[in-house]
Amino acid sequence: MTLHFQSRFSLKALNTLGFDAVAERFVRVRSIDELLELRDEVKRSSSPLLILGGGSNLVLADAVPGIVAQLAIEGRAFEALDAESVRVTVGGGENWHELVRSSLGQGLYGLENLALIPGSVGAAPVQNIGAYGVEVKDLIEAVEVYDWAEDRVYWLDNRSCDFAYRDSRFKRESGRYLITRVRFLLSRQPHTVTSYAPLREVLSPQQREQPEAVFDAVCRIRSEKLPDPRELGNAGSFFKNPVVSAEDHRRLKSAYPSLVSFPEGEGRFKLAAGWLIDQLGWKGRRMQNVGVHAKQALVLVNYGGGDRGQLEKLANAIQRDVLDAYGVELEPEPRFYP
């Protein structure tokens, strides 16, 4: 066996909240062959298994039982489909932001709105990451998975991934699939998306047509609003933007004229969860060693020494306040494990 398992391994540096979680056993998986070795060990030991990417969308308990495996499959392949379209196949262990940055540098466009989102390429489809009017599903052609239930590696096309807002087949069937590679369709021709007001406000009409300018603006806005996990532990946006009916939207808009919302189609509206939380005075508040970021109410942070129990208390308190005030339920984005 080429895999190297480590016991009582600290995951503090491998989750962006910086919680001092400890894995019973830990291993890095760098190839399909090593993945199959991991499969054999999981079967032999009957151990629970957590697959880690960048640890950016995860809330860990103090002790993590069984095996924690970090996916470290790398590599990129490029295939020109025509004068405009390029298929890019990327290992699931690659860093997400580095993929966005390097693709742009090679004149391949489409990912620029998704800059500075922490995590790995393999984790991106699970959450269907999105920002500033773009979701990763819009760029994905197919996803290669190892299916634990069927014990085989195969490709799923975009439709089969069953993507939804901050959701996917992989999230709903947690534990069944391990994403080994992702295939993107990128363009040599710019088709920028600048419909979100915060982006339009900082870009001139000319810059709105330039993917490089969009990338720079997204990086600047995110850096101003979202803390660097290396400096202040966080899991990015902690709550999903809730979607409500047209009737509920009218009710809320009547009571709160400055309500921030966006049409979601089929007569539904997406509410800005950060606005709802901010209006209730949560921004900058602290509970024990965790709190709400001073600049962005949607981000919960670990000031150092925080743990899952503290974060859950804070999140539950915010959810109760929002439900009491607006009649709207907030749903966390990160996955809680175990």
The residues carrying an active-site annotation are 166, 237, 333
Looking only at the bridges linking them, the beta strands covering 233-237 and 299-302 are antiparallel
- Tell me the C-alpha distance between 234 and 303, whole Å: 9
Amino acid at 127: Q
